[in-house]
Structure 1
Amino acid sequence: MATAFRPGRTSVLARAGLLLIILGLSACKGSTGPGGKPDAKQDKGPEAVPVEVAHVERRSISASYNGTAPLEARAQAQVVAKTSGIALKVLADVGQHVAAGQTLVVIDRDRALLQEAQAEAQVRKLEANYNRATQLAAQKMVSANDVDQLRFDLDNARATLRMAKLELAYGNVAAPISGVVASRDIKPGNFVQINTPIFTIVDTSRLEATLNAPEREIEKLKPGQAVELTVDPLPGRTFNGRVDRVAPVVDAGSGTFRVVCAFNADGGLQPGMFGRIRINYDQRADALVIPRTALLEDGGDPAVFVVRNGKAARATLKLGYDDGPWVEVRDGLKQGEPVVVAGKAALRDGSAVKVLEGSASPAQAAR
């Protein structure tokens, strides 16, 4: 049975075909520019990422250990009185430099003088008795036991005299070390108690800083190595010193060992200042280096982006010494290759790059 002709269905199919033809023509027009030429924007690839580069170069580089520690005086002593009495004179004040053995306080010694006089009189008396007994013993008029007893008494009296003289000498309180008076706790007229601190003296001629270095550095840090010191109160200045002592054992609890660095107390350095310390233990005169700013911070192996043929290529590195703004490259780069120091965050391996004119020099990039 023949199908009946349906004019409505034919018109719908015709309209759908016409719509497809129109869309196809529109797509063709969209891919061309004025005059029927292809649109340059459609064929153009991703835009090049602007970057700054520094070139791999050779320079001297040092291996160092860095740490922080407060500065301390090499020697400090509390001055105590070895006797009691009234302070007649106080001969030093805070900030004054004193020499070892210099008298700082004079204590009243009237009683000690009397004790010394008594002891001298007793010695003279016993010396006379002993000499007389010795003569009589030669004549068999005094027994040997009596002579021995007089000799013992005389020795005891002489010891008492020495004690009296020592007690008298304690009236002059002297500085045990050379240095600067840091504190004074006595005034003229005060009563001085025995064994009570009355002065504090600090030897500021040399200062020390003690580092607790990790055990992995024990073969690298040795006495005599050069040390550089900076302190916040004296910005822009570097002070030179030496490693004075190194502990030969590692503390089992902390896994560290003590490294004592010594500095001359000049240029304004004072005990108590907090110092940043750098110990240089090795140096390479002709190392291949890059600025630290070129290293990628993605948590992977050490790497940089190198510009090759207008594109960024990721290069994995084997690093050597680390010297402030510079890092030594042991493998992975060649001298003169440009490494990206600015703009690397937007790069991927193979990204097109545009090197900006006037890129930072290696020295500037390292800052």
Structure 2
Amino acid sequence: MKKRYIVFTLIVCGIIALIAYRISANSKINNPKNEKKTVNVMGVEGQVLEAQKFADNLTLSGTLEANEEIEIRSEISGIVESINFDEGAKVSKGQILFRVNDIELRAQLSKVQTAQQLASENQRRAKLLLEKQAISQEEFDVSKADFESARAESQLIAAQLSKTTVRAPFSGTIGLRSISKGTYVTPATPIANLVNTSQLKITFAIPEKYVSRMYAGSPLTFTTSNSKIVYNATIYAIEPQVDIATRTLKMRALADNKEGKLYPGTFANVTLPLETVNDALLVPTEALIPIQNGKKIFVSRGGKAKEVMVETGARTDSVARVLTGLKVGDTILTSGVMSLKNGTPVKVNLTN
């Protein structure tokens, strides 16, 4: 019995010793002092900054407008006697567009011209009588006033008569007509639109900070939403003051449209050249990280990522110009930048 107790005690002690040994061995293995430190190096893409030529352009939205545009109307009321234009056709300056019936005006003109002739004869006789002192000066003045009144009335009706024939005030394209032969028109009746599209105006507005760079004669280019063709235009007029509500300055440019490919009312994408920089530092837009106080970019220095605060200027769809914070020869990181932290070890794969 005593031997069993001794054997059992030895077995228990052995098990306890084995457990203690395993715990001690595991603690040594997991001890950080005995660990071999492993460093994760992040692979990223980058490029070495070089000075480049950069055209600093201002991109704006504008609207194409006809060089000249009016709504044709009749200055007098009456029935349309004839229509002398085709809808959508080209017309020349001075060309007759339509006529309003003038029978009543011609009759009135004939009547007042007869009265004018009589008043003229009465004035002539009165003058002869005045020279013979057969009538007073007052009587002569009355006859003279009658003649002047009759002549003025004749001129008035003649002017109204001339308005029965409506002519094109300038050359252009006439639109769709709103009348037919026999229509009774008044000065409030719209007839058709006449538009001169041989040249088009582009109206746009620029932010006030660029005002000092603008002047009449500045060239620009533009495209339209329905075409990729690049057209040229020249600024010819600038508003004398900045709009207080929008803080912009409105201006207009003139573009040739001899081929008739441009239409008034079309949206225009205007590109206004500001300056050309020969030593600009350009970075891909994806390399820039927006932060609360501006923008930052990561560069590679000593095998580690370092964040640098930068100030940017003009930009395009793919690149932005950096004004401060970088210099020629810096290696900027362009991929995986959102995962980087200051001091992260990096392996840079340089790209063009």
Q: Fold conserved (TM > 0.5)?
A: yes
Give the corresponding residue for 2:234: 242
Aligned equivalent of 1:128, options 111, 115, 121? 121
How far does residue 113 in structure 1 lie from its aligned partner after superposition?
A: 1.8
Aligned equivalent of 1:272, options 265, 268, 280? 265
How far does residue 314 in structure 1 lie from its aligned partner after superposition?
A: 1.9
Uncovered stretches (5+) of structure 1, i.e. residues with no partner: 32-37, 362-367
Q: 1:68-91 CA deviation, whole Å, 9 max, x = no partner?
A: 233222432122111222222212
Aligned equivalent of 2:40, options 24, 31, 46? 46
How far does residue 299 in structure 1 lie from its aligned partner after superposition?
A: 4.4
Q: Which moved more, 1:164-173 or 1:258-267?
A: 258-267
Contact 2:202 2:255 in 1 (8 A): no
The alignment status of 1:259 with 2:250, answered yes or no, reads: yes
Give the corresponding residue for 1:19: 19
Contact 1:83 1:171 in 2 (8 A): yes
Distance in 2 between residues matched to 1:9 and 1:210, nearest whole Å: 104
TM-score (norm 2): 0.83
Distance in 2 between residues matched to 1:204 and 1:189, nearest whole Å: 31
Q: 1:273-292 CA deviation, whole Å, 9 max, x = no partner?
A: 12222322333232232232
Question: What's the secondary structure of 2:125's corresponding residue?
Answer: helix
How far does residue 99 in structure 1 lie from its aligned partner after superposition?
A: 3.5
- When residues 165 and 10 of structure 1 are mapped into structure 2, their CA distance, relative to the original with a 3 A threshold, is same
Give the corresponding residue for 1:143: 136
Percent identical residues: 24
- When residues 154 and 341 of structure 1 are mapped into structure 2, their CA distance, relative to the original with a 3 A threshold, is same
Q: What does 1:206-245 correspond to in 2, within 5 Å?
A: 206-234=199-227, 236-245=228-237
TM-score (norm 1): 0.80
Give the corresponding residue for 2:346: 353
Question: What's the secondary structure of 2:123's corresponding residue?
Answer: helix
Q: 1:295-322 CA deviation, whole Å, 9 max, x = no partner?
A: 1234453222223344322222233443
- When residues 58 and 124 of structure 1 are mapped into structure 2, their CA distance, relative to the original with a 3 A threshold, is same
- When residues 187 and 142 of structure 1 are mapped into structure 2, their CA distance, relative to the original with a 3 A threshold, is same
How far does residue 264 in structure 1 lie from its aligned partner after superposition?
A: 1.3
The number of equivalent residue pairs is 344
Q: 1:128-177 CA deviation, whole Å, 9 max, x = no partner?
A: 22222222322223332222211111111111111121121111112234
Aligned equivalent of 2:146, options 150, 153, 159? 153
Q: What does 1:280-359 correspond to in 2, within 5 Å?
A: 280-356=273-349, 359=351
- When residues 29 and 130 of structure 1 are mapped into structure 2, their CA distance, relative to the original with a 3 A threshold, is closer
Uncovered stretches (5+) of structure 2, i.e. residues with no partner: none
Question: What's the secondary structure of 2:289's corresponding residue?
Answer: coil
Contact 1:71 1:273 in 2 (8 A): yes
Q: 1:45-76 CA deviation, whole Å, 9 max, x = no partner?
A: 21432x33233122222444333233222432
Aligned equivalent of 1:188, options 181, 192, 195? 181
Q: What does 1:39-118 correspond to in 2, within 5 Å?
A: 44-49=38-43, 51-118=44-111
The AA in structure 1 aligned to 2:15 is R
- When residues 44 and 56 of structure 1 are mapped into structure 2, their CA distance, relative to the original with a 3 A threshold, is same
- When residues 352 and 157 of structure 1 are mapped into structure 2, their CA distance, relative to the original with a 3 A threshold, is same
Distance in 1 between residues matched to 2:271 and 2:247, nearest whole Å: 17
Distance in 2 between residues matched to 1:176 and 1:132, nearest whole Å: 45
The AA in structure 1 aligned to 2:95 is Q
- When residues 288 and 123 of structure 1 are mapped into structure 2, their CA distance, relative to the original with a 3 A threshold, is same
